[in-house]
Amino acid sequence: MLAIDEVTVLGRQNRTIVPAQILSGEKLQRLNSHSVSDALRYFSGVQIKDYGGIGGLKTVNIRSMGSQHVGVFYDGIQIGNAQNGTVDLGKFSLDNMELVSVYNGQKSDIFQSARDFASASAVYMVTRRPVFESGRRNRFNVKLKGGSFDLINASALWEHRISENLSSSANIEYLNTSGKYKFRYHKDGGYDTTEVRRNGDVWFLRAEAALFGKVKRGEWQAKGYFYNSERGYPGAAVKKDYGISLLNEDRQKDRNFFFQGSLRQEVTDLYSYKIQAKYANDYMNYVMPPESTVQPMDNHYWQQEVYITAANLFAFTPWWTANLSTDFQWNKLDADGTDMFNAHFIEPRRYTLLGAIATSVNLKRFSMQASLLYTYVHDRSARRMETAPDKNVFSPTIIASYRPFEKIGLDIRAFYKEIFRMPTFNDLYYVQLGNRLLKPEYATQYNVGVVYSKRFDKGVLSTLNLTMDAYYNEVKDKIIATPTSNQLVWTMVNLGYVEIRGVDVTFNPCFNIGGVALDARLSYTYQKAQDFTKEKDEGWEETVMDGYGDQIPYIPWHSGSAILNASYRKWDFNYSFIYTGERYMLGNNTPVNYIQPWYTHDMSLSRNFPFKHAQLRITAEVNNIFNQQYEVVKWYPMPGTNFKIILSLTL
Amino acid sequence: MKGFYLKWLTVFIGILILAASCRKDDPVLPSEPTLVNPWEQVTGDIYGFFLLNEGNMGTNQASLDYYDYETGVYTRNIYGERNPYEVKDLGDVGNDIQIYGDKLWAVINCSNYVEVMDVNTVKHITKIAIPNCRYLAFKGKYAYVSAYAGPVQIAPDARIGYVAKIDTVSLQVVDECIVGYQPEEMAIVGDKLYVANSGGYRVPNYDRTVSVIDLKTFTEEKKIDVAINLHRIQPDNYGNLYVSSRGDYYEIPSKTFIIDTSTDEVAYEFEDLPNTHMTLCRDSLFLYSTEWSYITNDWTVSYAIVNTRTREIVTRNFIKDGTEERIQTPYGIAVNPNTGEFLVTDAKDYVRAGTLHCFGPDGIRKWSISTGNIPAHIVFTRKKLQPLEK
């Protein structure tokens, strides 16, 4: 599964030098997951920050470099957020998802936009493409899910073949949950309390429509996406008296839509091109009502993005290719908040120009890709206020793979990558926080690993995949928030320096035992992510801790997952296990900052009921079987045992 | 061959289950004592001091530390082990600590309550719920607590603040008095309570007044116009109040004013005396400032002593050994009235554990110790803290 070729999905015969971690198709759908972020927990090297519940914020951090270093791509085009640089993956449904993959460094497919070269690691989400059984023009699917937290989730999909070379897909999904669940805090020999998570309700409506076309030696795709939601933020479950405190009344409304299209064509054997374009429009409203005891707020944010890219592939010989791609991106952020906010808000506009040249050599036992990315960023204020100076940065990458023995499926791979992340609009310009003098935050990555895969014709074991990677990352000029004179007045500085050393292991054997197909997927991650930020307060006596060299907050030393999947005739069984080891919050690895390990066991059982022209599938899920009371982020309690029933009808 | 792989699979799963089974019971955290001052055994009627760490907002890490002058031992995190059944320890964001009679009072801002403890044992006595409570003051039979969250005012959608009056015998709120927006520190002179209104939630329409409450009737008598975003208020020995204004972090700088309580008017404005925090010892007003400007994206830290008799600035730096260069974010100050030694806390980056520095009256550092997260509020005790009964 790990070495799956992406041909079926992306349609181009360019072997990626370093394969990604992939979850796709049935395997992806069988996971007991609500959203893409839940599925990403099974990848090695990935840490999800989950603020609890169904609607809470979920961000992804790959190899401890920080969530702003992760590029998130939806059907080939990056999802931007110039405002804060992170994408909330809890908002992306698995309902119509065909594939989720994670790349360290970059996707080593050469034929790609400059954006694909421009993040330290990347998550690619690919939605379902229409597939028709012979002679059929339509395919319908209706799904209904219900379960704990008063969850109701319904979706409908219609795929239609318009002609030989043109098909369409339309998909709509609605979700509503109260987000209410009980949780318990218990100290051995001390207090014991059970509370209810409140203000965690969510509803969303998502609608997507797409056209898929074929042209001579190529194909095109056009897509529209719409998302509308409202959710409550339950906040931290700190000590409080609900009789008087209304701290967690925060509400967020989102309305996002985007249109995107792509066209790819092989003009001659030598030259192919790919053009992609996107327009995105995002509105967000964050409210802290005046009835709450804290500062009332009613902020509105409008973001727009225009993105266009052209990639040009030159296949000089069957084994030597080169790519030249240029991207242009325009971002705009408008906001409306308090009078003070409006008076100081600069209304930023950002013009980004990216250029990438890359070349790739694919010999029988040796492959290599080298790329150089150029980034130019110019910020402007619509109110003619001062902005950050222009940025000009070159970032190189080298990726190589070598097969030492012709007859053994063992590859050695390595990469070196330099990349940076731009300070976001919030980092630079947020009123009473931003610092427009910030420099970009740089990440340097070194990775070396092995991949072993083998297929067996006889016996119980049918296939086997094993990967092992060791890596070293440096993050310098890390952008961190720092306070000024009190807890309410913060600013951003380029202070941090972090070194990360880690090992990722994945192991994926598939068995066939007397008609039972058994698929196991195990992953393990070790990470030592140390904060070596130099402070002015060094050299005290030993009664003063400095935290220098301590593990950074929320990164466990050990984490891992296991998925076991068994299919027998019309039955499917899935068991999944996730483990996150001990870790610390805040800055020092001290007892008060210690956070317990957590691990959850989830199970699901499905049965298919085939009819003449239809298929019904019923699934029952139970999650967190042992009702472990755990937290991913301290004081954001996660749900205990919970259930779900899924009905899926395909016509 | 197949047996071989199955065995490895079993081993791998076994390892995962083993790794998974190492979740320990969550214990009540013990306190952490450290000997910091083996050279001195100071006696006199001050036996020690309590330090309240604010804890970063939303982390539930308000904590209480104690320093014992007799032994020179500083002990971190003493509340939990003495009160294991208090749910979630002290709570979220400690904002003030005071001793009155036999009781130790702590204001826990974001947990919306005032914790009352026995000052001899630090045993919990009761909780008094007050929304968004900020600071404490005492007089006679009553305690007074300023609070941000009074009723919602219609016009700018912000709540007006109030001062709660608590009977120190019944430990119940007996009265409330509406003051300005987001009231901060209070001072009592004679029968009048003065409270500095910040209006910090209403930027740019900051409050700029000190409310004067007549304690006999517990009503607001008048408002004294001072400057925007007031915070600290400190009485001297001559019937004056020193009041600090935070400024707006843009054009208007932080400043210090004097209110004459005989006229209830602003009597003096210091030129160039930014003020984040101040404390009085006899006629010496120690103050420091950490002033940030969003215009220059830069900040200035300064320390000063004002002679409250002459209103002269005695020194522009009371730390004499260069330690100030190594303090990142001064966040609390206290002066021992018996010995004249003073304490300065460093909240650092607000994320890591803070540091407490103890200086002799000569301004030379004597010892330093790591505290909890965001060390901020210090109170000296004249009662011996009894050791924990095991």
Q: Please report residues of A whose CB lies closer than 8 A to that of B94.
A: none
CB contact under 8 Å between A239 and B92, yes or no, is: yes
Residues B184-234 pLDDT 10s: 999 999 999 999 999 887 777 889 999 999 999 999 999 999 999 999 999
CB contact under 8 Å between B325 and A536, yes or no, is: yes
Residues B122-132 pLDDT 10s: 999 999 999 88
A433, closest residue in chain B (CA to CA) = B294
pLDDT reported for residue A5:
35
Does the model's pTM come out above 0.95? no
Dist. CA A177–CA A225, nearest whole Å: 22
DSSP A17-31: SSPPEEEEHHHHHHS
C-beta separation of B280 from B308 below 8 A:
yes
B294, closest residue in chain A (CA to CA) = A432
CB contact under 8 Å between B297 and A435, yes or no, is: yes
Enter the tokens of residue A27: 């395997």
Residue to mutate among A592, A598, A602, with most B CBs inside 10 A, is A592
Q: Please report residues of A whose CB lies closer than 8 A to that of B373.
A: 586, 592
pLDDT reported for residue B314:
94
CB contact under 8 Å between B20 and A191, yes or no, is: no
CB contact under 8 Å between B57 and A487, yes or no, is: yes
CB contact under 8 Å between A191 and B294, yes or no, is: no
Dist. CA A282–CA B41, nearest whole Å: 65
Residue A69 vs residues A65, A103, A302, A471: alpha-carbon distances, Å:
6, 12, 23, 16
Query: Which residues is A308 bridged to in the sheet?
Result: A277, A328
pLDDT reported for residue B8:
61
For residue B159, give the DSSP letter.
Answer: B
**Phi, psi (5° rounding) for residue A116?**
-65, -20
Dist. CA A104–CA B18, nearest whole Å: 29
How many CB pairs below 8 A link A and B?
235
Q: Please report residues of A whose CB lies closer than 8 A to that of B329.
A: 483, 485
Q: Please report residues of B whose CB lies closer than 8 A to that of A546.
A: 352
CB contact under 8 Å between A191 and B88, yes or no, is: yes
CB contact under 8 Å between B349 and A598, yes or no, is: no
A460, closest residue in chain B (CA to CA) = B2
Chain A: closest CA distance from residue B150 (Å): 8
CB contact under 8 Å between B110 and A244, yes or no, is: no
pLDDT under 50: residue ranges of chain A? 1-14
Dist. CA A650–CA B1, nearest whole Å: 41
Share of chain B above pLDDT 70, in %: 92
Chain A: closest CA distance from residue B318 (Å): 19
DSSP A267-292: -SSSEEEEEEEEEEEEEEEEEE-TTS
Q: Which residues contact B296 (CB under 8 A, 6 or more apart)?
A: none
Residue with tokens 């009160």: B83
Q: Of A296-300, B109-113, B132-136, which range is least confident? A: A296-300
| HEC readout, B295-306 | CCCEEEEEEEEE
| Residue A38 CA from chain centroid, whole number | 10
Q: Count the residues in chain A.
A: 651
Enter the tokens of residue A39: 């599925």
For residue A134, give the DSSP letter.
Answer: T
Q: Which residues contact B213 (CB under 8 A, 6 or more apart)?
A: B163, B177, B179, B192, B193, B194, B195, B219, B220, B221
Residues A361-420 pLDDT 10s: 999 889 999 999 999 999 999 888 888 899 999 999 999 999 999 889 899 999 999 999
Three-class SS state of A388: coil
pLDDT reported for residue A404:
93
Dist. CA A137–CA A463, nearest whole Å: 35
Q: Position B332: which residue type? A: G
Chain B: closest CA distance from residue A507 (Å): 9
CB contact under 8 Å between B132 and A586, yes or no, is: no
Residue closest to A313 by CA, chosen among A322, A326, A304: A322
For residues B295, B348, B373, B199, the Cα torsion angle rounded to the nearest 10 degrees is -20
CB contact under 8 Å between A244 and B130, yes or no, is: yes
pLDDT reported for residue B278:
95
What ipTM was estimated for this complex?
0.89
Q: Which residues contact B68 (CB under 8 A, 6 or more apart)?
A: B47, B48, B74, B75, B385
For the purposes of burial, counting CB atoms within 10 Å of the CB of A308, is it exposed (0-12), middle (13-18) or buried (19 or more)?
Answer: middle
Peptide bond into B204 cis (omega under 30): yes
Q: Which residues contact A482 (CB under 8 A, 6 or more apart)?
A: A490, A491, A492, A493, A495, B349, B350
pLDDT reported for residue B44:
83
CB contact under 8 Å between A460 and B93, yes or no, is: no
Touching A: B residues 231-270, CB under 8 Å: 246, 249-250
C-beta separation of B58 from B352 below 8 A:
no
pLDDT value at B53 more than 80: yes
Q: Please report residues of A whose CB lies closer than 8 A to that of B130.
A: 244
Chain B: closest CA distance from residue A185 (Å): 8
Rg (CA), chain B: 23
Determine the Cα angle at B236 with ends B231 and B240, to 5°. 75
pLDDT reported for residue A490:
65
From the list B85, B90, B369, the residue facing A543 with the nearest CB is B369
B81, closest residue in chain A (CA to CA) = A190
Q: Which residues contact B84 (CB under 8 A, 6 or more apart)?
A: A187, A189, A190, A191, B28
The residue that leads in pLDDT, B258 or A24, is B258
Q: Which residues contact B338 (CB under 8 A, 6 or more apart)?
A: B42, B44, B45, B46
Beta strand segments in A404-557, E: 410-421, 441-455, 461-486, 489-513, 516-531
Touching A: B residues 150-209, CB under 8 Å: 152, 157-159, 200-201, 203-205
CB contact under 8 Å between A293 and B205, yes or no, is: no
Touching A: B residues 281-300, CB under 8 Å: 289-292, 294, 297, 299
From the list A239, A495, A599, the residue facing B88 with the nearest CB is A239
Q: Please report residues of B whose CB lies closer than 8 A to that of A521.
A: none
